Structure 1
Amino acid sequence: MEQTDTSPAPDRSLKGIAAGPGTAVAPVARMAAPPSLPEVEPEVGDPDHEESTAFAALDRVGVDLEERAARLDGEAAAVLNAQALMARDPELRRQAGALIREGRAAAWAVHEACERYRELLLAAGGYLAERAADLADIRDRAVAVLLGQAMPGLPEPGHPYVLVAHDLAPADTVRLDPEQVKAIVTRLGGPTSHTVILARALGLPAVVGCPGAEDLAEGALVAVDGDAGTVEIDPSKDRVESLQGRAERRRALAAEATGPGRTLDGVPVALLLNAGEADPGRSAEHDGEGIGLFRTEFLFLDRDEPPSVAEQTAVYTRLFRAFSGRTVTVRTLDAGSDKPLGFVATGEEANPALGVRGFRTSRVHPHLLVDQLTAIASAVREVDKDEETARIRVMAPMVSTPAEAGEFVELARAAGIGEVGVMVEVPGAALAAERLLSRVDFVSIGTNDLAQYTMAVDRTLDTLPELLDPWQPALLELVAKVGGAGERLGRPVGVCGEAASDPLLALVLVGVGVTGLSMAPPALPVVRYALSRHTFAECRRLAELALAAESPERAREAVREVVRPEVAGL
């Protein structure tokens, strides 16, 4: 049977990081350049006035971001509120004020202060590096206010388009109209940036960290494949028709594919959501079997002190009630040097990604974890009063050894939590999977971090995207080791990294023993459909092909060549 053409012409395509699933074909429209400072900087006559003017501009930016957040909900609102707090950061103001005292004009002082702060974030790497785009947006908005220029914004070419930018700020991403913006391509960015999180929530195809994006011409027709991470320039008519048909099939599946995850022969595969927001209502509306990854960081970020047990309990209680009758997997605080909190001092570290983070922070701040587990257990007891309760599971991030897993289980059990697991994000945990799984009730594999540590590549780096490809055979070998251990011990093994949202890779993951997949909501229907068209034995065969491949490209193509045609064309 003839297969659908899904491969871009290699000499006419760019390769970046696959960040938002789906495909789109449309002309390029580029973000306008940010405001630029005049060549001549004026002399400062009144430093006090200059300082108050600079602070007022930062305040205006913060208010504008908060007003935008008030018109939104879920993760979009949380992202903008966090960015508004950055605009009011005391250290940013202190640096701007110091520069003004040295004779700098307000706009120049704000610009330099933001740049100094941004360079520190980029040097820190990890989560902090991904916040550098947020600060660049604050810089541009504040400078625009001070110079009396228009705020940075989205292009309006008058027709649907592919948005191309050097980087994209959250404040612009939340304003995207999916009827006009068909896909996103950025030169910078990593797979966990705010831009990517918001793009996935909108269901937009996205390719980030894409070398050559800066050379895409305004109005040029491009085909964006957010599953493969490619941008094809001036695609052929056949290629355009192929991708448009693929997009139409995905849209149809969004309305038709419903119900629990199952293979063609009835083997259950839990299809869950990744979530992390104060209001669980929107997540609960999706046709998933629950939450496979509930990020609790939003409760702790941008605060001077940790949330109280009572405050946490209230949030968890709302979440558990919203998902009555379904599974909710709560990840405890994933903080540390690359997600700094003022009340979680871990000391200076040369490489934050390899330092005190995740479960390791409990060594220096044990009360944070104890309080969080106490709050989760209190919320469980509260919702147990209802007729139908959610199935609550708790897991710790960045667990490296069976001993650490056992330590976390003891703490969770002491708090009164029944189902306890850990995340597998480092090769050491994957290699010791059988011993680790013997200590816990379940594990969930975070493929983003596991890829970073397996391939020795910072996951925010945009120069080596192929090494972070979740189809890397070495990464799949580690996932298979964990999946095999889960099968032998009868323990559930989930995947909550972005690998779970790829319908072809989902088949491979099930074939190596993964029993649950957690993803952004727009990916659910397509993954559900792909599973429903293949037996478990066929998934096993696909896994064998992927594991035997020499590169991620060959692994992907080997699988695509033998899956059912209706799935290969997704």
Structure 2
Amino acid sequence: LALQLQPNLVLGICTSAGSVTAHSTLIANTLGIPMVVGIGTQLLSLATDTQIALDGTTGEVWIEPSPVQLLKAKQSQTFVKSPAPQEAITKDGRKIAVMANIVGVADAEFALECGAEGVGLLRSEFLYLHRQTPPTEAEEYETYQAIAQIMGSRPLTIRTLDIGGDKTVPYIKLESEPNPFLGWRGIRQSLDTPEIFQTQLRAILRASYGHNIKVMFPMVASVQEVRAAKKILTEVENSLSEVGNIKVGIMVEVPAAVTMANQLAKEVDFFSIGTNDLSQYVMAADRTNSKVANLTNGLEPAVLRMTQQTVIAAHEAGISVSVCGQLASNSVAVPILLGLGVDELSVAPPAISIVKRVISQLDMLEVEAIAHSVLKLDGAKSVQEYIVAQVGIEI
């Protein structure tokens, strides 16, 4: 349903349950639709045609809002859509690449309008959802090619199919699982459905010719999975006559991938940290469950320590690290991520201008010291308070 939303028709979304890192919320963010989740069941008792105003940044919701409240909601939207600086450069001259998370061709154009320097995450599952059969190679190729052409020489990172968890399709037989987020999804599923996987890789490799395309595998938990996926990628590549010089990366979103990051880094060209899933796995809390959503906060020191460990292993191996989870869009988190050594941030297009402005107000030596300090704090609330108090920027 989220993928079918039209931003020109939907002004905002308010839900009684859910969390800020649920798939539907992430899609709404990507489309630039303000969304507030987990309001409670009282929302369901409101009469049809009740006027509601919301601020997707602060999480405020007003029932039958006053003129002042309406103005505040409109101003928050205007700020999000304001022009971004061309480049994100810290006060001491460090350039940080700010990419976009997108789900389709229209998003690619929107991302560039917002100031994206490329695509750090193309959620390719948008091609597979809401249909009875998997997309053909031609359909996938045309879509990837169209997005690559919009990007020009800018990088386009395509995540291979990540179905499962809170995303299902009728043509892949997903048995009912007690814990679907711990089940058959991501690269595990792709390796078990080679025909679908090979078709997608063929389309990606064909589109890579003449373009700056990267491919990355989701939900990697072991070196063996990466090697198996790379083997299939190589076989498909050898069957094609014209392919680009494609780089291969993985999503680091499983604690096992963090602990094995030094070995995984030898297998790939880059890491992309998916803080949405990493947070729920580290904290043992379902990110779609509003009752425990507060535990899946990427600012938890446990999650930040995992991020630090990943960055250290990657840099020792000479590869780059991006963060593409919701945490990268959080103004409070940006100083920490830069201080931990993250090379690139990939965010929802509407957040690009905000993230770039925050970066332009930072000094690398200062944020490195800040990151070192927050790792010693006792929880996400303490981290939030520390950043707001210590960092002299407009959060």
Fold equivalence (TM over 0.5): yes
- Aligned-partner residue type, residue 229 of structure 2: F
Name the residue aligned to 1:209: 38
Hey, what's the Cα distance between the residues in 2 that align with 1:564 and 1:213?
A: 39
Report the Cα offset of residue 259 of structure 1. 1.3
The counterpart of 1:326, out of the listed 144, 154, 173, is 154
Name the residue aligned to 1:444: 272
- Aligned-partner residue type, residue 37 of structure 2: V
The counterpart of 1:365, out of the listed 187, 193, 196, is 193
The counterpart of 2:86, out of the listed 236, 255, 259, is 259
Name the residue aligned to 1:398: 219
The counterpart of 1:353, out of the listed 166, 174, 181, is 181
Q: Deviations over 1:87-121 (max 9, x none)?
A: xxxxxxxxxxxxxxxxxxxxxxxxxxxxxxxxxxx
Task: Kindly indicate whether residue 85 of structure 2 is the aligned counterpart of residue 286 of structure 1.
Answer: no
Q: Does structure 1 retain, via aligned residues, the 8 Å contact 2:85–2:356?
A: yes
- Aligned-partner residue type, residue 389 of structure 2: E
Q: Does structure 2 retain, via aligned residues, the 8 Å contact 1:227–1:502?
A: no
- Aligned-partner residue type, residue 194 of structure 1: S
* Closer/same/farther in 2, CA of residues 363 and 406 from structure 1, 3 Å limit: closer
Q: Does structure 2 retain, via aligned residues, the 8 Å contact 1:444–1:496?
A: yes
Hey, what's the Cα distance between the residues in 1 that align with 2:195 and 2:261?
A: 28
State the TM-score, normalizing by the size of structure 1: 0.60
Q: Deviations over 1:151-200 (max 9, x none)?
A: xxxxxxxxxxxxxxxxxxx58x86344xxx6xx55331233353563355
Task: Kindly indicate whether residue 149 of structure 2 is the aligned counterpart of residue 308 of structure 1.
Answer: no
Q: Does structure 1 retain, via aligned residues, the 8 Å contact 2:30–2:103?
A: no
Q: Does structure 1 retain, via aligned residues, the 8 Å contact 2:97–2:343?
A: yes
Q: Does structure 2 retain, via aligned residues, the 8 Å contact 1:262–1:532?
A: yes
Correspondences of 1:534-553 after superposition (within 5 Å): 534-553=362-381
Q: Does structure 2 retain, via aligned residues, the 8 Å contact 1:380–1:392?
A: yes
Q: Does structure 2 retain, via aligned residues, the 8 Å contact 1:272–1:517?
A: yes
Name the residue aligned to 2:97: 270
* Closer/same/farther in 2, CA of residues 402 and 266 from structure 1, 3 Å limit: farther
Name the residue aligned to 1:411: 232
Q: Deviations over 1:270-291 (max 9, x none)?
A: 1011111254433343311111
Hey, what's the Cα distance between the residues in 2 that align with 1:511 and 1:231?
A: 34
Hey, what's the Cα distance between the residues in 2 that align with 1:337 and 1:563?
A: 37
The counterpart of 2:27, out of the listed 164, 185, 197, is 197
Q: Does structure 2 retain, via aligned residues, the 8 Å contact 1:261–1:269?
A: yes
Report the Cα offset of residue 302 of structure 1. 2.8
Q: Does structure 2 retain, via aligned residues, the 8 Å contact 1:333–1:358?
A: yes
Report the Cα offset of residue 327 of structure 1. 0.9
* Closer/same/farther in 2, CA of residues 335 and 196 from structure 1, 3 Å limit: closer
Hey, what's the Cα distance between the residues in 2 that align with 1:223 and 1:285?
A: 26
* Closer/same/farther in 2, CA of residues 525 and 281 from structure 1, 3 Å limit: closer
Correspondences of 1:235-246 after superposition (within 5 Å): none
Hey, what's the Cα distance between the residues in 1 that align with 2:110 and 2:333?
A: 27
Hey, what's the Cα distance between the residues in 2 that align with 1:196 and 1:216?
A: 26
* Closer/same/farther in 2, CA of residues 427 and 213 from structure 1, 3 Å limit: farther
Hey, what's the Cα distance between the residues in 2 that align with 1:396 and 1:285?
A: 28
Hey, what's the Cα distance between the residues in 2 that align with 1:278 and 1:215?
A: 34
Q: Equivalent residue of 1:263, what SS?
A: coil
Correspondences of 1:155-194 after superposition (within 5 Å): 175-177=9-11, 185-191=14-20, 192-194=22-24
Q: Does structure 2 retain, via aligned residues, the 8 Å contact 1:402–1:435?
A: yes
- Aligned-partner residue type, residue 319 of structure 1: I
* Closer/same/farther in 2, CA of residues 352 and 217 from structure 1, 3 Å limit: closer
* Closer/same/farther in 2, CA of residues 216 and 300 from structure 1, 3 Å limit: closer
- Aligned-partner residue type, residue 526 of structure 1: I
Report the Cα offset of residue 408 of structure 1. 2.2
Q: Does structure 1 retain, via aligned residues, the 8 Å contact 2:109–2:150?
A: yes
Q: Equivalent residue of 2:31, what SS?
A: helix
- Aligned-partner residue type, residue 260 of structure 2: A
Q: Does structure 2 retain, via aligned residues, the 8 Å contact 1:268–1:515?
A: no
Q: Equivalent residue of 1:503, what SS?
A: coil
Q: Does structure 2 retain, via aligned residues, the 8 Å contact 1:441–1:491?
A: yes
Report the Cα offset of residue 354 of structure 1. 1.1
Report the Cα offset of residue 498 of structure 1. 0.7
- Aligned-partner residue type, residue 259 of structure 1: Q
Name the residue aligned to 1:5: none
Name the residue aligned to 1:136: none
* Closer/same/farther in 2, CA of residues 195 and 507 from structure 1, 3 Å limit: closer
Task: Kindly indicate whether residue 169 of structure 2 is the aligned counterpart of residue 341 of structure 1.
Answer: yes
Hey, what's the Cα distance between the residues in 1 that align with 2:139 and 2:83?
A: 39
Correspondences of 1:93-112 after superposition (within 5 Å): none
Name the residue aligned to 1:53: none
* Closer/same/farther in 2, CA of residues 287 and 372 from structure 1, 3 Å limit: same
Hey, what's the Cα distance between the residues in 2 that align with 1:536 and 1:247?
A: 34
Q: Does structure 1 retain, via aligned residues, the 8 Å contact 2:114–2:349?
A: yes
Correspondences of 1:122-161 after superposition (within 5 Å): none
Hey, what's the Cα distance between the residues in 1 that align with 2:14 and 2:142?
A: 39
Q: Does structure 2 retain, via aligned residues, the 8 Å contact 1:276–1:294?
A: yes
Instruction: Report percent identity of matched pairs.
Output: 33
Hey, what's the Cα distance between the residues in 2 that align with 1:213 and 1:507?
A: 37
Report the Cα offset of residue 216 of structure 1. 11
Report the Cα offset of residue 420 of structure 1. 0.2
Deviates more, 1:223-232 or 1:367-376: 223-232
Report the Cα offset of residue 339 of structure 1. 2.9
Report the Cα offset of residue 252 of structure 1. 5.9
* Closer/same/farther in 2, CA of residues 441 and 213 from structure 1, 3 Å limit: farther
- Aligned-partner residue type, residue 303 of structure 2: L
Report the Cα offset of residue 473 of structure 1. 1.1
Report the Cα offset of residue 264 of structure 1. 1.7
* Closer/same/farther in 2, CA of residues 476 and 314 from structure 1, 3 Å limit: same
* Closer/same/farther in 2, CA of residues 505 and 337 from structure 1, 3 Å limit: closer
Hey, what's the Cα distance between the residues in 1 that align with 2:92 and 2:302?
A: 29
